[in-house]
Amino acid sequence: MASSTYTVLVIAIIFFASLTAASTANFYQDFDITWGDGRAKILNNGNLLTLSLDKASGSGFHSKKEYLFGNLDMQLKLIPGNSAGTVTSYYLSSKGSAWDEIDFEFLGNLSGEPYILHTNVFSQGKGNREQQFYLWFDPTADFHTYSILWNPQRIVFSVDGTPIREFRNLESAGVPFPKSQAMRIYSSLWNADDWATQGGRVKTDWSQAPFTASYRNFKANACVWSSGSSSCGSNSPSSSASGGNAWLTEALDSKDQERMKWVQKNYMIYNYCTDTKRFPQGLPAECTVASFS
């Protein structure tokens, strides 16, 4: 009798654990569709979300929760074929005129041409920190993981676990850093053929519409901000970085640094920190710090 009771208890624990695990990546639970008049859809019992764009409208969603620091993953499969003129975005943003923002944007392409991955960081309403990359795979053929690590010391953009960009906290050099405004996750698919593909020279081919991008496997190891307080506690983030919150003090090790250098050497196509024509009065302060990447 004791053995059968134990068996039932184990089965119940496994069942409820599976429910908990599933709930961590369910679009019904984690996100609200915010615009698109039916063009955004949550499918497969909440495990898949698709955004679509046609000539009348694009579509978008945002997270139900706000975060103040996090390690966030999302898998995306981008628009196949001729996606020229379209932009698929996945980003964090706060509200207000002095907002903070951390951007992934995927600029559409002509068939056979590479997608451009556009990244940017805004702090206190100021951006102009663009870095752009080609990818070392076809992002339309399958899902790939795009990650943002945001802690008090740094922001790291990663693709399939490979770091491609780091923006460090250089407040000591007078560079504002996003650290005090909670941000939601946003994503949208829209027409930007005035600038997205080859500077706007290639327009959207509406005969290819609807254009569709897909999302799955969202994961958030993050400090949720609600009613003026953080789920990581009232202590400073660094003092809370034990156990499951080790990402709050995570840094790139030497292997990560080498992988990031490899990506930047072989796949970076634009870096604002080398664009002296754009900044005739001098490059931004963070660009002159030797440790900046």
Beta partners for 220? 72
How far apart (Å, rounded) are the C-alpha atoms in residues 236 and 38?
Answer: 42
- Per DSSP bridges, beta strands 229-230 and 86-93 are unpaired
Please tell me which residue in 101, 166, 250, 258 is annotated as part of the active site: 101
259 token code pair: 């992988």
With 0-12 CB in 10 A as exposed, 13-18 as middle and 19+ as buried, what is 36? buried
51 token code pair: 């955004």
How far apart (Å, rounded) are the C-alpha atoms in residues 185 and 61?
Answer: 8
Taking the alpha carbons of 250, 74, 102, 20 in that order, is the dihedral positive or negative?
negative
Percent of the chain as helix, strand, coil, to the nearest 5? 25, 40, 40
Q: What letter would DSSP give residue 291?
A: T
Q: Are 25 and 218 in contact (CB under 8 A)?
A: yes
Backbone φ and ψ for 211, nearest 5 degrees, come out as -90, 135
Please tell me which residue in 66, 105, 166, 286 is annotated as part of the active site: 105
**Active site includes 113?**
no
Backbone φ and ψ for 125, nearest 5 degrees, come out as 80, 0
**Active site includes 101?**
yes
The candidate with the shortest Cα–Cα distance to 205, out of 53, 100, 40, 71, is 53
How far apart (Å, rounded) are the C-alpha atoms in residues 111 and 67?
Answer: 37
Q: Which helix (H) or strand (E) holds 131?
A: strand 131-133
Which residue is associated with the tokens 């951006």? 127
183-199 b/e with 16+ CB inside 10 Å = b?
bbbbbbbbbbbeebbee
- Residue positions annotated with a catalytic role: 101, 105
